Amino acid sequence: MKVCGFSFVRNGVKLGYPFVEAIRSILPLCDEVIVAVGDSTDNTLEILRSLDPKVTIIETIWDENLKEGGRVLAVETNKAFQAIPAKYDWCIYIQGDEVIHEKYFPVIKGAMEKYLHNKKVEGFLFNYIHFFGSYAYVGINSAWYRHEIRIIRNDKNIFSYRDAQGFRKRPNEKLKVKLLDAYVYHYGWVRYPEELKEKEKAKIRLYNPDEGAVQGHADFMNQYTYEKAIEPVALFEGTHPAVMQDRVAKQNWSYQPDLSLRYASLKDRFKKFMGKWTGWFPGEYKNFKII
């Protein structure tokens, strides 16, 4: 069994992405990791060049005309995926703000080996933990997505969908996947406050072509604090992945959430209740078919 990882990044340093930790978290599972490195204005490329011999870099230019729905993120994901040689069986995808805990390696490797020759299984679905404001807290609002596909077969009929949050198979079929007892740790909303502001101001340009909306979001982010988000959170009681320990230890900002905020609305409480007792989360978007 041969496994290749893939990812993409641009301006990872300037925008505070833990992209090095993300890639390092999947290296032990992979024979090679291919990273599409966009045209950056920081030293992201230089850092990746010296990261590990198993890392292969393809340099890319982001299409600045793709300014709606985050489509450019899927395009960059596809560039990395299409560069994976045919000799690989499974492909592990990781985004620049995601990390896989090493405690899940046996489960992940075991699943890839078990279903290697079962072509009905087109990928594997992961659970998600979303950190917010601090490495000590996780979001509990039902708006956070619970699952995403992060391992796919090396089938070039598969493509990154919408804004690179999931995958589909040509012409437009949802993938048939197995749900793993493993989690992706999502750190997208935990970084130095100034880096978060810059990340969000850069991100909106990938989703909205309207300059008025872009400027309005920039003005909003300039005044943003984690506390102003009024985000329901809970104390994280687990451990962070080994590759994240140094970054976690260097947190130098404070976050004082209102722990009395449990769920944002009656609708949210209903979703949580139904999910807990029936496994069904009303209105949940599912870009996959669990088999």
| HEC profile of the chain | CCEEEEEEECCCCCCCCCHHHHHHHHHHHCCEEEEEECCCCCCHHHHHHCCCCCEEEEECCCCCCCCCCCHHHHHHHHHHHHCCCCCCCEEEECCCCEEECHHHHHHHHHHHHHCCCCCCCCEEEEEEEEEECEEEEEECCCCCCCEEEEEEECCCCEEEECCCCEEEECCCEECEEEEEEEEEEEEEECCCHHHHHHHHHHHHCCCCCCHHHHHHHHHHHHCCCCHHHCCCEEECCCCCCHHHHHHHHCCCCCCCCCCCCCCCCHHHHHHHHHHHHHCCCCCCCCCCEEC
Kindly state the tokens that stand for 233.
């959170």
pTM passes above 0.85: yes
Q: What is the pLDDT along the chain (291 residues), one digit of tens a residue?
A: 999 999 999 999 999 999 999 999 999 999 999 999 999 999 999 999 999 999 999 999 999 899 889 999 999 999 999 999 999 999 999 999 999 999 999 999 999 999 999 999 999 999 999 999 999 999 998 889 999 999 999 999 999 999 998 999 999 999 999 999 999 999 999 999 999 999 999 999 999 999 999 999 999 999 999 988 888 999 999 999 999 999 999 999 999 998 887 665 666 665 555 555 555 455 677 899 999
Is it true that domain 1-291 has CATH number 3.90.550? yes
**In the chain, domain spans:** 1-291
